Amino acid sequence: MISAGLSPYAQALGIDIDHDENGQPVLFVDFSDRIQGRPGYLHGGAMSGLMEMAGIAALQAELAQRAETVRLKPVNVQVEFMRGGTEQRTFACGSVTRAGRRVALVNVEAWQDDRSKPIALAQMKILLSPAE
Amino acid sequence: MTEPKSLQDLPSEFVFDPARASKMMTRHGHGGWLGLSYHAHGEDWVELALPWRADLAGVAETGVLASGPIISMMDNATSMAVWTAAKRFTPHVTLDLRVDYMRAAVPGRTVIGRGECYKLTRTISFIRGIAYDEDPEDPVAHVIGTFMASHGTYL
């Protein structure tokens, strides 16, 4: 269960798993003062934090099908903010575009009440190394 | 005089003061919860501080800070660098932000985020910055991104 692996940071913000979408976990966070940026809006950094978590969870789900265990090391993330996040539940789900032996590329979408209108997109590059 | 509750309440002729604005930005909301505070500033840059805390960790066993709090600090520091360079507060939105992770922050250390505005146009500001936990020459992360003035212009 991935929920047991959610970081202290994710737990402190109230990030949790909502459901699976084509085998990829959909994460969510409810609006609170803890994740508010300018008054009435979700902070871009908190939005990015949720998306990074969803990206990692999607990659873990994909890698779970492999025989060997790997360690994940984020290389970089590029976030495009398209709409302001308002005072409601925010969802995020990643999709693994490519997971090779050394590196993985994961795209993540974040949305609120309308799945077809994402509020942000993220693209993450993650280094895979054999677990010690 | 009483402190304005939010930056939106500041009169537009007010010269932006990052030290004073930090008190507002870091008292409530996400910045307040993270424990961000003002560290230093120059003509076109602002430094904020993010003290280490166990519940900001990405991995409980190691205590290494999650990347989320660092992104949030860099978003705030670069945002304030724009207003510092423009010498006034203008409402704006983050268009994009890219973060390159050099290494993990050392658990227990305060991370400093230095945001710099290297170009202002009427509606777009271009920013970059670093996060470091001891030596600016050995950063934890580099960031680069853009903001867009949402109501009014920067210049």
**Position B4 in a domain:** no
Residue A112 amino acid letter: Q
Residue whose structure tokens are 């400093």: B112
**Cβ–Cβ under 8 Å, residues B92 and B34:** no
- Residues of A with CB below 8 A from B30's CB? 34-37, 43, 45-46
**Position B3 in a domain:** no
Report the pLDDT value the prediction gives residue B31, as an integer from 0 to 100. Answer: 95
Lowest mean pLDDT among A50-54, A64-68, A123-127, B71-75: A64-68
Report the pLDDT value the prediction gives residue A58, as an integer from 0 to 100. Answer: 95
Which residues span the domain enclosing B144?
A: 15-149
Report the pLDDT value the prediction gives residue B13, as an integer from 0 to 100. Answer: 61
Residue length, chain A? 132
Q: Which of the two residues, B55 and A65, has the higher pLDDT score? A: B55
B58 band by pLDDT with thresholds 50, 70 and 90: very high
B8 band by pLDDT with thresholds 50, 70 and 90: low
Structural domains present in chain A: 3-130 (3.10.129.10)
pLDDT in tens, A43-63: 999 999 999 999 999 999 999
Best B78, B96, B148 member to test A by mutation, with max A CBs in 10 Å, is B96
**Position B9 in a domain:** no
Report the pLDDT value the prediction gives residue B10, as an integer from 0 to 100. Answer: 64
**Position B7 in a domain:** no
**Position B10 in a domain:** no
Q: Do B56 and A12 touch (CB under 8 A)?
A: yes
User: What is d(CA A92, CA A120) in angstroms, rounded to the nearest whole number?
Assistant: 9
**Position B90 in a domain:** yes
Contacts of A54 (CB under 8 A, 6+ apart): A25, A26, A27, A92, A93, A94, A108, A110
Q: Which of the two residues, B68 and B9, has the higher pLDDT score? A: B68
Q: Do A9 and B74 touch (CB under 8 A)?
A: no
Average pLDDT of span B30-36: 96
User: Residue A7 pLDDT > 80, yes or no?
Assistant: yes
User: What is d(CA B38, CA B40) in angstroms, rounded to the nearest whole number?
Assistant: 6
Report the pLDDT value the prediction gives residue A2, as an integer from 0 to 100. Answer: 42
Report the pLDDT value the prediction gives residue B126, as an integer from 0 to 100. Answer: 98
Q: Do A78 and B54 touch (CB under 8 A)?
A: no
**Position B1 in a domain:** no
H or E segment at B22?
helix B18-25
Closest Cα in chain A, distance from residue B42 (Å): 23
User: Residue B1 pLDDT > 80, yes or no?
Assistant: no
Q: Do A74 and B67 touch (CB under 8 A)?
A: yes
Report the pLDDT value the prediction gives residue A25, as an integer from 0 to 100. Answer: 95
Supply the CATH number for residue B86's domain.
3.10.129.10
Q: Do B72 and A76 touch (CB under 8 A)?
A: no
User: Residue A67 pLDDT > 90, yes or no?
Assistant: no
User: What is d(CA A18, CA A26) in angstroms, rounded to the nearest whole number?
Assistant: 6
Among A109, A7, A5, CA closest to A64:
A5
DSSP states of chain A as a string?
--GGG--HHHHHHT-EEEEEETTEEEEEE---GGGB-STTSB-HHHHHHHHHHHHHHHHHHHHTTSSS-EEEEEEEEEEEE-S---SS-EEEEEEEEEE-SSEEEEEEEEESS-TTS-SEEEEEEEEEEE--
User: What is d(CA A109, CA B134) in angstroms, rounded to the nearest whole number?
Assistant: 34
Report the pLDDT value the prediction gives residue A55, as an integer from 0 to 100. Answer: 96
Q: Do B95 and A52 touch (CB under 8 A)?
A: no
Backbone angles phi, psi at B9, to 5 degrees: -85, -10
Among B130, B90, B88, CA closest to B111:
B130
Report the pLDDT value the prediction gives residue B136, as an integer from 0 to 100. Answer: 97
Give the residue on A whose Cα is nearest the Cα of B7: A38
Mean pLDDT over the full length of chain A: 93
Query: Which chain A residues have any C-beta within 8 angstroms of a chain B C-beta?
Result: 7-13, 33-39, 43-46, 48-50, 52-53, 73-81, 84
Lowest mean pLDDT among A40-49, A62-71, B47-56, B139-148: A62-71
Q: Do A81 and B99 touch (CB under 8 A)?
A: no
> How many domains does the structure of chain B reveal?
1
B14 band by pLDDT with thresholds 50, 70 and 90: confident
pLDDT in tens, B103-137: 999 999 999 999 999 999 999 999 999 999 999 99
Report the pLDDT value the prediction gives residue A116, as an integer from 0 to 100. Answer: 97
Average pLDDT of span B136-150: 98
**Cβ–Cβ under 8 Å, residues B81 and B129:** yes
Q: Specify the DSSP class assigned to residue B65.
A: B
H or E segment at B29?
helix B29-34
Q: Which of the two residues, B73 and A65, has the higher pLDDT score? A: B73
